Structure 1
Amino acid sequence: MNRTIVDLLADNAEHARAFAGRFDEVQDGQYPEAVTVCCSDSRVLQDQIFGNETPGRLFTCGNIGNRVVQRTDAREVVSGDVLYPLAHAGTRTAVVVGHTGCGAVTATYDALAGGLAADSEPPGIEHCIDLLAPHIEPGVDLLPEGLDDAEAVNHLVEYNVDRQVDELLGSDDVPDDTDVVGVVYDFQDVYGGERGEVHLINVDGERDPTALRAEHEVVDDRIARLWTY
């Protein structure tokens, strides 16, 4: 047997022993407090970044680039993965989680800048880049001068989070009373806090740090942005 599978099953056995009694209240249904849309990067420990050890608390979606959209034959829509708890489980908080050094944003930036050949990725990855590109492209033209590539990517990580928040706020499928929040998970010492901290950058479309701190004093020390535009 593949050693990785053996190790995963051993770790799962420990998980089952620790969590066996925590499913009693959610065996027959779920009412998550929030839906999180995270990048599926292996360094983004999706539930763990919020200290979650409670089954049923978070409805976690993951994909490269923390996208909230999917493409149908007719048009681009909010993904059913994200909508499900909002439509069927009473969830009224959505959190878009970007992260520093995002590979999907990097690949999209490279494609927009002409550094990535059109056929250089498998079709599935190209599809993901094609979904991100229209949301990120306007941000490339707004980037401050003098940024190196890594800095440009981290600026665009914020820009992408903002655009995904906008998609949720602008969708008729998302209930009007849903709180939509955008954050960035930092493990690269970009924001100056602890590695692994989540930094709040957008609340219901408001992205000005001064306005956010005035409105949300209880978390004012967690509000930080690399740029406003």
Structure 2
Amino acid sequence: MQESFTALLQQNADHAREFQDRFDDVQDAQRPDVVSVCCSDSRVLHDHLWGNDQPGTVFTASNIGNRVVQRIDDAEVVSGDVLYPIEHTGTETVVVVGHTGCGAVTATYDALTDGVEEPPGIEHCLGLLEPYLEPGVELLPDDVDRAGAVNRLVEYNVDRQVEFLLDSDNVADDVQVVGVVYDFQDVYSGRRGELHVVNVDGETDPDAIRDAHPDVGGRVERLWSH
């Protein structure tokens, strides 16, 4: 057995000791306040970035590119991973979490600009992103470097995923949809590991978001208005 796995099992034993009493209220049902859609990336610790250690609080869904889109029989629908808590547990807030330096956005950018090919499984996932990111690639400033292009497209992708949720008939109008970017590369102002609000219910203008939501005003920041 790989040492890395046995070390994880030991850490799980520590977790089990610490969490003995934290499942008492959620063993039979869950009513999470938020569904958080994050990118599958080893540097982005999904529950950890919210400071969450309480089972039943955040319903977490992860995939490369923090997508909310799923393709079924050539039709695009809201992913069941995201829709389940909205439909079945009364969750009324969805947060789409992008992150700086996103590998999925980078790979999609490469596919769109250089025709880079990936194995079929990855190609399928990127194929769900490509039609949403392609207009953003066309809008990029001429003088932006590669890293700058990717991080602008990270925001653009968050915007498109938020937009897809808002446009879906399967997501009730009273469900709030928020888009954020997690920064561990010193791209935004603030400290490493902070989340920056870039979109609230389709509004992307930072001043408008601050005016409407002064309680989060200090965390509103965008790299790119497009």
Q: If the TM-score is normalised by the length of the shorter chain, which range does it land in?
A: over 0.9
Matching residue of 1:59: 59
> Which aligned pairs between 1:141-220 and structure 2 lie closer than 5 A?
141-220=138-217
Counterpart of 2:204, as a letter, is R
1:42 and 1:187 mapped to 2: Cα distance?
A: 12
Matching residue of 2:80: 80
1:74 and 1:157 mapped to 2: Cα distance?
A: 25
Matching residue of 2:37: 37
> What is the CA-CA distance between 1:145 and the residue it aligns to?
2.1
After the TM superposition, which parts of structure 1 deviate over 3 Å for at least 4 consecutive aligned residues?
Answer: none
1:48 and 1:214 mapped to 2: Cα distance?
A: 29
Matching residue of 1:140: 137
Secondary structure class of the residue paired with 1:22: coil
Q: String of CA shifts for 1:17-59, please: whole Å, max 9, x gaps.
A: 1111000000000000000000001101001100000000000
Matching residue of 1:128: 125
> What is the CA-CA distance between 1:175 and the residue it aligns to?
1.6
Q: String of CA shifts for 1:179-206, please: whole Å, max 9, x gaps.
A: 0000000000000210000000000000
2:153 and 2:88 mapped to 1: Cα distance?
A: 32
Aligned CA RMSD, in angstroms, stands at 0.7
Secondary structure class of the residue paired with 1:20: coil
Counterpart of 2:82, as a letter, is V
> What is the CA-CA distance between 1:115 and the residue it aligns to?
4.6
Matching residue of 2:68: 68
Q: TM-score, normalised by structure 1?
A: 0.97
1:219 and 1:58 mapped to 2: Cα distance?
A: 19
Q: Which runs of 5+ in 2 are unaligned?
A: none
> Which aligned pairs between 1:90-101 and structure 2 lie closer than 5 A?
90-101=90-101
Q: String of CA shifts for 1:70-108, please: whole Å, max 9, x gaps.
A: 100040100001000000000000000000000000000
Counterpart of 1:137, as a letter, is E
Secondary structure class of the residue paired with 1:38: strand
1:206 and 1:121 mapped to 2: Cα distance?
A: 34
1:8 partnered with 2:8: yes
Counterpart of 2:107, as a letter, is A
Counterpart of 1:155, as a letter, is R
1:18 and 1:78 mapped to 2: Cα distance?
A: 36
Counterpart of 1:211, as a letter, is A
